[in-house]
Amino acid sequence: MMIGVYISPVGFASSIVPDKWRLIYSLNPMVGVIDGFRWALLGGTQTLYWPSIAIALIVSLAILFSGVYYFRKEEKTFVDVI
């Protein structure tokens, strides 16, 4: 659980990651979420890395739609199991 603190920009700005590794680092969807939250709270003083925001959005939507699909597929037997 603690490794998430080290691979997500919680205690540091993600801008310190070198540019050649920034896209790979952004594959962690929490990078875009935390950077966007920091940007919103600090009034836009930090520049956003838009690919990380896009990756976070795509991963979030993929999880949402796969969850809805799985629930729709399993809801007929869901009540019987519980």
Average model confidence (pLDDT) across the chain: 83
Q: Residue 64's pLDDT is what? A: 96
Mean pLDDT of 4-15: 76
Mean pLDDT of 21-45: 84
pLDDT over 80 (residue 7): no
Residue position matching structure tokens 């590794």 = 21
Q: Residue 76's pLDDT is what? A: 81
pLDDT tens readout for residues 26-35: 888 888 888 8
0.85 exceeded by the pTM?
no
- 56 by Cβ neighbours in 10 Å (0-12 / 13-18 / 19+) ranks as buried
